[in-house]
Amino acid sequence: MKEQTLAIHAGYEKDTQHTMAVPIYMSTAYDFGSADFAASSFNLEQGTDHVYTRVGNPTTAVLERRFAQLEGGSGALAISSGMGAIFYSILNVAGAGDNIIISSKLYGGTITLFTQTLKKLGIEGRFFNIDNPQEIDNLVDDNTKAIFFESISNPSIDVANIEEIVTIADKHGILTIVDNTVATPFLCKPFSFGVDVVVHSASKYTTGQGLAIGGLMVERVGLVDKIKNNSRYPYFNEPETSYHGLIFADCPASSVLFTFRTRMILLRDTGAVLSPFNAWLFIQGLETLALRMRQHSDSALKIANFLLSHSKVKKVNYPLLKNDKNYENAIKYLSKGASGLLSFEVEDFAEAKKILDGVEIFSIVANIGDSKSIINHSASTTHQQLSKAELLQAGINEGLIRLSVGLEDSDDLIEDLKIALG
């Protein structure tokens, strides 16, 4: 089936009430019916949708199945936020003494996750230049557990050369984890280029109207073959004492071993579970995601071309502009559009401030992916916690303005920017 059909129907068998809309099962727990069934549920023999909502819920399961199909993966796991999904994707493979090789161009929260929180836990983040993936080779050692990058980076809007990174990772038997939040499964399909695990913030385009925080983790078909008997991944190959010596790489759920282990170990023990109500909101969002991504992308390209022609604009970053340094990767990996995210540079902070205070339709908000257009000054808001050196490394100039182009008429948005630019 084609993706727009999957987005409407995948993963939902109508329940006993035959409801067209997916029901919201607001329930903490489920009646096992018999002692034997209860025991087998806890022994992981009955699936995970009807034990306790921290590890599974029937509404959330629809979102997981649908999202897995849209990415072309074998399984997905919903988590309470995008940051939660990223954190779990790392904790699922790494512990104290291990390292992760990470792109120099990442979301601000992801950078601080690596430089602050994971560092305190003894997990080292080693930066590589996203424009020069060959650097990865020299950073790899026996304790490297994953290579982490964003398909389209937020906010620097770089497009990764996915296949070059995957080739190096595969040579060393290392997992690749991609944050596909900005591209969404409709603009980029990382699994078709060999990526192993995809993570998302559903808080952006998936919800689409700025309604709810949530995250997803998806794994590719056949990931078990890369992990099984791979000495880098003892968590999956050694007996798990909390499940009577179960070996994840050999268990009946091994076709979804990455998300299954996250659910049964990390969600069990640390509990960053998505609310079924938010799962339901994301299911509504998925129905129109493809249509919206097309519109966001078309408008953003028009606005990028307008900004390019304006005398006060020093630089425009949009991957589908012919002169953008990401153009080649964009044509290859983002064939259907490059999202509504674009950025541009004006002279300095003062000039940027004038524009932010001058627009009327755009709102000053620390978010992206809303139907309402957003304008943002990265250096003073979302990336404020970064040092000057980290800002530079993340490609953030003090005159950099970030736009998340919404679903308003692009003529009105251009007029709004024209007036604010003066």
> Of 69, 74, 81, 89, which lies in the binding site for ligand PLP, with binding defined by CB under 6 A?
81
Among candidate residues 29, 21, 342, 292, the one with its CA nearest the CA of residue 159: 342
Task: Compute the least distance from the CB of residue 407 to ligand PLP, in Å.
Answer: 18
Among 60, 181, 339, 397, binds ligand PLP (CB under 6 A): 181
Residue 394 vs residues 107, 114, 153, 390: alpha-carbon distances, Å: 9, 14, 10, 6
10 Å Cβ neighbour count for 347? 12
3-class secondary structure, 205: coil
Binding range to ligand PLP, per CB under 6 A, among 75-83, 124-132, 244-252, 292-300: 75-83
The contact pattern for ligand PLP, residues 90-119, with x = CB under 6 A and - = no contact, is -----------------x-xx---------
| Burial degree of 31 (CB within 10 A; 0-12, 13-18, 19+) | exposed
Based on the shown chain and the rule CB under 6 A, indicate whether residue 201 belongs to the binding site for ligand PLP: yes
Q: Binding to ligand PLP (CB under 6 A): which residues in 138-167?
A: 150, 154
Please state the closest distance from residue 5 (CB atom) to ligand PLP, in A. Answer: 27
User: Which secondary structure element, helix H or strand E, spans residue 282, and what is its range?
Assistant: helix 276-308
Least distance CB 201 / ligand PLP (angstroms): 3
Kindly state the smallest distance separating residue 181's Cβ from ligand PLP, in Å: 4
Stretch that binds ligand PLP, among 199-207, 289-297, 358-366, 387-395 (CB under 6 A): 199-207
- Smaller CB separation from ligand PLP, 51 or 195: 195
Cβ nearer to ligand PLP, comparing 85 with 356? 85
Q: Interface with ligand PLP includes 296 (CB under 6 A)?
A: no
Alpha-carbon separation of residue 230 from 165, 172, 178, 210 (angstroms): 19, 10, 21, 41
d(CA 35, CA 154): 50
Of the candidates 56, 190, 215, 399, which one interacts with ligand PLP according to CB under 6 A?
A: 215
Number of amino acids touching ligand PLP (CB under 6 A) = 17
Query: Residue 258: enclosing H or E segment and its boundaries?
Result: helix 257-261
The DSSP code for 138 is H
Q: Which residue's CB is nearer to ligand PLP, number 149 or number 235?
A: 149
Q: Which is nearer to ligand PLP, 203 or 254 (CB)?
A: 203
Q: How far is C-alpha 244 from the geometric centre of its chain's CA atoms?
A: 33
Among 165, 182, 183, 223, binds ligand PLP (CB under 6 A): 182
Shortest separation between residue 369's beta carbon and ligand PLP, angstroms: 8
SS3 164: helix
Of 339, 343, 338, 355, give the one whose Cα is nearest residue 314.
Answer: 343
- Nearest residue to 252 (alpha-carbon basis) of 42, 35, 73, 46: 46
Burial category of 327 from C-beta neighbours within 10 Å (exposed 0-12, middle 13-18, buried 19 and up): middle
Of positions 73, 82, 185, 399, contacts ligand PLP by CB under 6 A: 82
**What are φ and ψ of residue 121, in 5° steps?**
-85, 0
Identify residues 347-386 at the interface with ligand PLP (CB under 6 A).
368
If the CB atoms of residues 88 and 236 are measured against ligand PLP, the closer one turns out to be 88
Residue 398 interacting with ligand PLP (CB under 6 A)? no
Q: Which residues bind ligand PLP (CB under 6 A)?
A: 81-83, 107, 109-110, 150, 154, 179, 181-182, 201, 203-204, 213, 215, 368
